[in-house]
Amino acid sequence: MDHVRLTETARALVADGKGLLAADESTGSIRKRFDAVGVESTERSRRDYREMLVRTPRVGDHISGVILFDETLRQEAADGTPLVRLIESAGMIPGIKVDRGAKPLAPFGSGETVTEGLDGLRERFDEYASMGARFAKWRAVYSIGDGRPSAQCIHANAHALARYAALAQEAGLVPIVEPEVLMDGDHDIDACFEATELVQRAVFQELAGQRVLLEGMLLKPNMVISGAEAATQAAPEEVAERTLACFLRTVPAAVPGIVFLSGGQGDEQATINLDAINVLALKIGAPWPLSFSYGRALQQAALRTWAGDNDNTPAAQAAFLAQAQANQKAALGAYAA
């Protein structure tokens, strides 16, 4: 394992308030996003859309890395340049989503999932590394309510996350460890805090147990927020206070960075909350940069503007750049200021 290279890559991904573009929607997820704006999902339309994003002028000033789906890592731009090379020449680092999705946790019926994809992963990592991927992502999912997340779900997912992370590092890729406590539901922010704390404790216990190099990984968690359907929504200052309290308690200082997912927060909400977290971190101190790895919150406006028509590319790129810029400011605690 090349400790120096892993550590350098992990640090580069969170340098200067930059964050990640999660453009790794599976074929099913991107179809849903395209359906919402009336675009047919074909191999070509998916390629055109992602090419548009990574060709955005100066995007590398704000985005450090792009997470890709397997199909995209293999695709070429309309002019024949591999998309991976476009990403690199824009000064960004290519990454790859390697999990094979969250599947019902046996015995069926608990409403919980465990993420699959470990079989054959060593060989897949070798191929991805040879294609230029320098980091990877694996997402575990937990829901809140009726006894969820259960100890069994927390343990099974922590174990899989650590096995994935160890394999990624063995192949020289920085693992992004993503345990996502969903915001679905009408629970309050305390319930989110409690679930997130339990999940993070289990994840870091497994990472240590499986000898994952903390200096050579990034954590991609949910923020600690109110359930999406909760009658009372915690204000950004409370989100910041609870989020920092939770991660200061559970995430070792050796981890080079925390990159939040947006998880269905609106674009503006995701930026404002990230900014509030960093404003507080500047005040009380935090051992890691706190940045973003957003999918929807970075892309929503751009996708709506592009709407399947390449004539809209300049306007869509402007919308995407504005989101990238705003979130970089938020990662520096300088968005609202």
Q: Which of 126, 123, 119 is nearest to 103 (CA)?
A: 119
Q: How many residues lie near ligand 13P (CB under 6 A)?
A: 10
- Cβ count within 10 A of residue 311: 9
The nearest distance, CB 212 to ligand 13P, in angstroms, is 19
Residue choice 125, 142, 294, 320 for contact with ligand 13P (CB under 6 A): 294
The nearest distance, CB 265 to ligand 13P, in angstroms, is 8
The nearest distance, CB 157 to ligand 13P, in angstroms, is 14
Q: Is 22 in the site for ligand 13P (CB under 6 A)?
A: yes
Q: Is 330 in the site for ligand 13P (CB under 6 A)?
A: no
CB-count exposure of residue 322 (10 Å: 0-12, 13-18, 19+): middle
Which residues in the chain belong to E strands, given as ranges? 19-23, 63-68, 93-97, 102-104, 113-115, 135-142, 174-181, 218-219, 258-260, 290-294
104 prior amide bond cis, ω within 30: no
**Which are the catalytic amino acids?**
178, 220
Piece of the chain touching ligand 13P by CB under 6 A; list 113-121, 239-247, 261-269, 323-331: 261-269
Q: Is 261 in the site for ligand 13P (CB under 6 A)?
A: yes
Residue choice 234, 297, 303, 330 for contact with ligand 13P (CB under 6 A): 297
Q: Rank residues 178 and 275 by Cβ distance to ligand 13P and give the closer one.
A: 178
Q: Is 30 in the site for ligand 13P (CB under 6 A)?
A: no
Query: 């009380």: which residue's tokens?
Result: 284
Residue choice 295, 320, 321, 333 for contact with ligand 13P (CB under 6 A): 295
Within 8 A by CB and 6+ apart from 314, the residues are none
Q: Rank residues 250 and 262 by Cβ distance to ligand 13P and give the closer one.
A: 262
CB-count exposure of residue 168 (10 Å: 0-12, 13-18, 19+): buried
> Which parts of 178-197 interact with ligand 13P (CB under 6 A)?
178
DSSP symbol at 140: E
End-to-end CA distance of the chain: 42
CB-count exposure of residue 267 (10 Å: 0-12, 13-18, 19+): buried
Helix (H) or strand (E) holding 249: helix 236-250
Residue choice 7, 9, 262, 278 for contact with ligand 13P (CB under 6 A): 262
Q: Is 296 in the site for ligand 13P (CB under 6 A)?
A: yes
Q: Rank residues 29 and 110 by Cβ distance to ligand 13P and give the closer one.
A: 29
Q: Rank residues 87 and 211 by Cβ distance to ligand 13P and give the closer one.
A: 87
The DSSP bridge pattern shows strands 174-181 and 258-260 to be unpaired
Q: Is 139 in the site for ligand 13P (CB under 6 A)?
A: yes
Binding site for ligand 13P (CB under 6 A): 22, 139, 178, 261-263, 294-297
